[in-house]
Amino acid sequence: MNRRPRSRVLLLLDGGIAAVMLAVALTVLLAPGTPPASAGGTAAAAGLAAAQASCLLWIRRRPGYALAVAALAGVGLEVLCPPLGWLGLVNVPLAYVARLRPPRFSLVALGLLLVPTPWELVTGGWRDLLFAVTALGLGWTLGELQRGHFQRRHDRQRQVLARERERISRELHDVVAHHVAVIAVQAAAAEDVFDAHPERARAALGAINTAARSALTELRAMLHALATDDGTDPDGPQPGLAQLDALADAVRAVGLEVTMDRDTGGADLPGGVQLSAYRIVQESLTNALRHSHATRADVSVRYGDGVLSLAVVDDGSGPPRRAGTGAGRGIVGMRERARLLGGTLEAGPLPAGGFRVAARLPVAAAQ
């Protein structure tokens, strides 16, 4: 999900919580026997409750200012309608602040809201004081728990990306090393025949030029990854599009029916692009087997207009898939592979059932 749709979802979520918050406040305000007694006071309290609830619509951008506005509105609510609780429903914006900011910030906000709570002993009693302290404490605790959960999830995602970048770097290292080896061999051959067979020397120099350009392309992609060499370079040549049929056969052997539709128009694609395409298809089929109980998967690989397009669609009905763990594979790893090549990857369930992974890997820009 890209940034703009996600922002829209968060705005709808915040708007829903604000609506619930306002509805609770109005329910208390309009209850029989609840102050204020005058229609003007009730209207003013309703306006303050609306202002306090509306802070949730922009609290993610300015948490401190939003909480300050909510607290000021709560002061008016405390005067006009004490049954609403300490400063109205300010514990809800406080929970947001604890969710969005570290404890060194949110604890200060909590302390500032707790300092005047003894006023409840004047207007109410010990029960009101206990309720005010408990409500603020629960609001802060809920927000802090959510912040901690998000931070742990973010740290796990960063670990997944780091491991995947290491793996990509090792694989691209082999691709670049192959091109450099070709350069060395052709250079030696050109030197041997330079005088006696100039046409063969010219052909060797052409091969060097091609290999050097390919090596630079792969190296450019590799430098995007923050690699750490752990001495576990994979053995053997790295796979590419030519190995997709063998991959499909291996998956069929364990019970998943796979159809392969591959059309690259005979284009000689860079090794790094082919490698990433193979890994994305491999991981998509693995996820179909492990997580969604799929019985069929359709793979499409197309090249045109300088872009290699991949699509893997299965008929699975399992639970929603999350980023992989362990070796760093999963949707996060696939998306990182596409990003390092300047491409995009989308993954998600289909309305009619099943799961779809679609990637676009630019080739023309890398050549």
Tokens 């049954």 locate to 83
- Looking at residue 235, what is its pLDDT? 47
The structural domain count of the chain equals 1
| Residue 79 domain-assigned (yes or no) | no
Among 316, 234, 249, 327, which Cα is nearest to 283's? 327
| Residue 276 domain-assigned (yes or no) | yes
The encoded tokens of residue 194 equal: 């330079």
Q: How many helices (H) and strands (E) does the chain have?
A: 11, 5
Q: Is 259 helix (H, G, I), strand (E, B) or coil?
A: strand
Q: What is the CATH number of the domain that holds 338?
A: 3.30.565.10
The answer to whether 33 and 71 are in contact (CB under 8 A) is no
| Residue 3 domain-assigned (yes or no) | no
| Residue 198 domain-assigned (yes or no) | no
| Residue 334 domain-assigned (yes or no) | yes
- Looking at residue 321, what is its pLDDT? 52
- Looking at residue 294, what is its pLDDT? 85
| Residue 289 domain-assigned (yes or no) | yes
- Looking at residue 219, what is its pLDDT? 59
Among 341, 355, 336, which Cα is nearest to 306's? 341
The answer to whether 330 and 322 are in contact (CB under 8 A) is yes
Task: Provide the domain limits for residue 258.
Answer: 241-318+329-362
| Residue 164 domain-assigned (yes or no) | no
| Distance of alpha carbon 12 from the chain centroid | 19
Among 359, 355, 363, 299, which Cα is nearest to 335's? 359
pLDDT tens, position by position, for the chain (367 residues)?
A: 445 566 888 899 999 999 999 999 999 988 887 888 788 999 999 999 999 999 999 999 999 999 999 999 999 998 898 888 888 899 999 999 999 999 999 999 999 999 999 888 777 778 888 999 999 999 999 999 999 999 998 888 888 777 777 777 666 666 666 666 666 666 766 766 676 777 777 777 777 766 666 666 555 555 544 443 333 444 445 788 989 998 888 888 777 899 999 998 777 888 888 888 998 998 898 888 777 778 899 999 999 889 999 999 999 875 555 544 433 357 888 888 888 888 999 999 998 889 999 999 998 644 5
| Residue 112 domain-assigned (yes or no) | no
Cα torsion angle, 296, 359, 160, 5, sign:
negative
Q: Is 349 helix (H, G, I), strand (E, B) or coil?
A: strand
As a whole number of angstroms, the distance between CA 36 and CA 46 comes to 11
Among 296, 315, 284, which Cα is nearest to 255's? 296
As a whole number of angstroms, the distance between CA 187 and CA 194 comes to 10
Integer-rounded Cα radius of gyration of the chain: 31
